[in-house]
Structure 1
Amino acid sequence: MPVTDIITDEKNLTLTVIADFAHPVSRVWRAYADPRQLERFWGPPTYPATFTEWDHRVGGRALYHMNGPAGEKSYARWDFVEIEPERSFTVDDLFTDEHGDPAPGMPVMRMRFAFEATDQGTRMTTTSDFASLEALQTVLEMGVVEGTRLAMGQIDAVLAGLREWFAGKGTRMEVLTDTLVRVTRAIAAPRSVIWRAQTDPVLIRQWMLGPDGWSMTICEVTTEVGRSSHFGWAPDPGVEGEPFGFDDQLLFLDEPFRIVTAGRMTGVEGPTVTNDLTLTEEDGVTLLTTVMEFPDAATRDMILGTGMVDGMEMSYARLENLLLTRPVV
């Protein structure tokens, strides 16, 4: 986690974020000057950003929106005020409508990003100035502090590169908050192939099996938002265990980038868990990131305690081997 401090100064109407990176200034600067890299960490995990316009010069602007798990969008704009390459840049950050026009009654922040070389790499200090205490409090109430920490927690993989950052790490689980967990797995295959493996029942039956000795008995997949997919597993003869299944309602689909579902065990009145899967491709590697949202910490711990992550790694390893031995096109 690169964020080392977040300072709220109500007297001077500022919010300051300090982050340290084990990379040179030139590398960190490139991540902030390239919209394709920036959008991979600008929004928090369940609200990733998409930059639709990028004019990186004084007087230019950038348009972006946050993408919610049900397809909702929140629009914003940067107006570039000052740019000193590999030293700093300053923007006016404002909420807008879908056309980029300022949203009435919403605060405007002047943000200065300053980059400084350190013995360990780079320190970036972001200072946001507000016109009033009310504007600062509005942004704080919107969850900007926690959202910033969650968003910046994604930047290390961008700076290092997917191939290097995830090499040999298998399936990784990170507890983000009491209710949010992030599971990541990198596979050396194009995103289009991984997308097919997530949506094609013929392929799903070949890898989404968990431990050896289990078979998938039900595999009904929908690509229609509002409808549900159904999955079921049963132990092979001689293997201990009870059959079980999941029903996943499709909340949002953006092919071939993102699938959001709300799932629960079949026939159980238990909790619903939101699974937000995104696919990111870089240098021949696709990163599968699943952000799981639980209703509370107790449910989170109960489900994680079932060995879910180990089962996911067994399935992903099987998929990886399948793609190596029988390439999917």
Structure 2
Amino acid sequence: MNVKTEGTKLIIERTYSVSQERLFEAFTTSSELEAWWGPKGWKTTNKRFDFEPGGHWHYCMKCEDQNQGDFYGMESWGLAKFKEIHAPERFLYEDMFSDEDGNVNPELPGMDIEVAFVQVEGGTQLITTTFFDSVESLEKLSEMGMVEGTASQMDRLEEYLK
């Protein structure tokens, strides 16, 4: 996994040995997302998933790993709004922290995320570009473990695709 920042952008790249269409499907099918989304030891449940421009994805990640100490039993809710979909090359969505009713948490920064699927020799390169409103917002979420969580999540995706 390659990680870099460019101003207010966080770019994460990883290559998977599956087709572009297969990787796109793993990201855009509700039941598949629930199978691998989130860090290791966390289970995701989709309360709503309307994969279409203007559609919403409302989900909960819950820590089910007792070895994660204070995180055990913790819930983290998210709300996304799909902005653009260009299957199977890429999609763009706005991602926000929320509560279980879908109310956005104004204390945590929202972000736009572009997920691109680029065919390469032997598979597909996944490129996620997260756009923050400021360097401070990027740093805040980085300090909260966003990169480590994404790395764990990408490992889960790899396992799931096998």
Structure 1 residue 23 corresponds to structure 2 residue 18: yes
Structure 1 residue 55 corresponds to structure 2 residue 50: yes
Contact 1:31 1:158 in 2 (8 A): no
1:263-306 CA-to-partner distances (Å, cap 9, x unmatched) read xxxxxxxxxxxxxxxxxxxxxxxxxxxxxxxxxxxxxxxxxxxx
> Counterpart of 2:69?
none
> Counterpart of 2:39?
44
Structure 1 residue 110 corresponds to structure 2 residue 112: yes
**In structure 1, C-alpha distance between the alignment counterparts of 2:36 and 2:109, rounded to whole Å:** 22
Q: Give the SS at the match of 1:154.
A: helix
Ranges in structure 1 where 5+ consecutive residues have no aligned partner: 161-329
Contact 1:75 1:97 in 2 (8 A): yes
Q: Give the SS at the match of 1:76.
A: strand
State the number of aligned residues. Answer: 155
Q: Which of the residues 96, 121, 124 maps onto 1:122?
A: 124
What TM-score, normalized by structure 1, do the two folds share? 0.46
CA RMSD of aligned residues (A): 1.1
Q: Which amino acid aligns with 1:151?
A: Q
What percent identity do the matched residue pairs reach?
31
> Counterpart of 1:146?
148
**In structure 1, C-alpha distance between the alignment counterparts of 2:61 and 2:37, rounded to whole Å:** 9
Q: Which amino acid aligns with 1:6?
A: V
What TM-score, normalized by structure 2, do the two folds share? 0.91
**In structure 1, C-alpha distance between the alignment counterparts of 2:99 and 2:158, rounded to whole Å:** 31
Structure 1 residue 131 corresponds to structure 2 residue 126: no
- Structure 1 stretches (4+) deviating beyond 6 angstroms? none
**In structure 1, C-alpha distance between the alignment counterparts of 2:49 and 2:157, rounded to whole Å:** 20
Q: Which of the residues 89, 92, 115 maps onto 1:87?
A: 89
**Higher Cα Rg, which structure:** 1
**In structure 2, C-alpha distance between the alignment counterparts of 1:35 and 1:71, rounded to whole Å:** 23
1:179-328 equivalences in 2 (<5 Å): none
Q: CA deviation at 1:100?
A: 0.7
**In structure 1, C-alpha distance between the alignment counterparts of 2:102 and 2:141, rounded to whole Å:** 19
Q: Which amino acid aligns with 1:127?
A: T
Contact 1:81 1:91 in 2 (8 A): yes
**In structure 1, C-alpha distance between the alignment counterparts of 2:140 and 2:45, rounded to whole Å:** 23
> Counterpart of 2:74?
72
> Counterpart of 2:161?
159
